[in-house]
Amino acid sequence: MEKPNKLSGSLRRDITLVDAVGIGLGAIIGAGIFVVTGVAAGVAGPAFLVGLVIAGIAATCNALSSAELAATYPKSGGTYEYGYRLLSPSLGFAAGWMFLASKLAAGGTVALGFGAYFSKLVPAVPAIYAGVAAAILLTAANLFGIKKAGKLNTAIVALTIASLVAFVAAGVPAFELGNLTPFAPTGFLGIAESAALLFFAYTGYARIATLGEEVHEPKKTIPRAVIITLVVSVVLYLSVALVAVGSVGSAALAGSSSPLQEASKGFPLPGVFWIVGIGAATAMLGVLLSQIVGISRMMFAMARRRDLPGFLEHVSYTHAVPSYGIILTGAIIILLAFFSTLQFVVSTAAFTILIYYGIANICALRLAKEHKLYPKWVAILGLMFCIAMAASLPWVVIGAGFSTLAVGFLLRLVFRRSERT
């Protein structure tokens, strides 16, 4: 017997513009800048700075499409829900499945990134064990219904931004123009691939769009919050990346799983190494916690439509959380941390999330005229960016992405047939 839901009324629109910006920055500034910077530097050299700007523009177009969809359909499930309503059940499922693939890969990236930074702070602890321990502890925390309060989120955002500002301020004296040459050793293709990888660093903006039911004046607040969040993120990311590559060169960044700490070794102030490490570790714990929350809720939403096995719809009577989904999420993230390389999980996360947002842009194009907040060219440009960046990734990653989608449809067929028997 289930407990009656005492909170069956509508959600209150208490989230202001400032709150929404804080939530967006907390979701965006995590593993992307602290980890993916090194991977991007490896594929494009110093020209990954251009890729960072391109990724920011692409993210803005995609974010505005997500914002107008969220304002029209303030439902859980995001593009999974929009796809079902505006396109077809198959495209809705494709969006949901690719979201899961991307966020699970992202969870593996965050766990590996946390381990790398923590190991630099505490060398006695191997990076892989630190990352796996974090995934286990945060999975357990989710099972007990622990959620990040608004004050905790604000504290994490403030600490993370403070560590990045300290990094930039301390690194300016170490900047050398010679570290920016050769600027684009791999040409345009390298820049395009770096943009695809760095797009991953911006994808937390969707968190704002999913809060449509709780935002004050959502049609005005959500778009403004998305734009402010992305502008702040682009400026901060570009400043950090420019100082990092200008201090030690792209080769040093590419060879490290904790690139900002690597860059800070040559700074005049030795304490920056610790500041960056603590800021990175804190940020990634917050992101990993929210990843587990988001993935398990998407599993829950898809299980309700039997796009995933029905047991994932189970909600703990004691703690009111989708416990089986949380356990499965944690287990997959741990496996990815153990058996995948950082380059592969970052590339996989980038490709699958680009497919997800590509479908979101198609949904935005199908919105009725009275629901459109922006010209159609915004969604068209966002879709073109998604296609171009996805195509720039290595063929092995593209093949793995489409294979993942094919496996998803096959499993969906199996799940639905088993439900009928």
Best CA proximity match to 41, nearest among 178, 240, 230, 241:
241
Read off the pLDDT of each residue in 305-322 and give the average, rounded to a whole number: 79
What is the reported pLDDT for 277? 84
Buried b (16+ CB within 10 A) or exposed e, 42-81: bbbbbbbbbbbbbbbebbbbbbbbbbbbbbbbbbebbbbb
Half-sphere exposure of 81 toward its Cβ, with a 13 Å CA cutoff? 18
For the record, the structure tokens of 295 come out as: 């993935």
pLDDT in tens, 72-119: 887 667 788 899 999 999 999 999 999 898 888 878 878 887 888 888
State pLDDT tens for residues 346-383.
777 778 888 999 999 999 999 988 888 889 999 999 99
Query: Distance (Å, rounded) from C-alpha 85 to C-alpha 309?
Result: 21
Domains of the chain: 17-420 (1.20.1740.10)
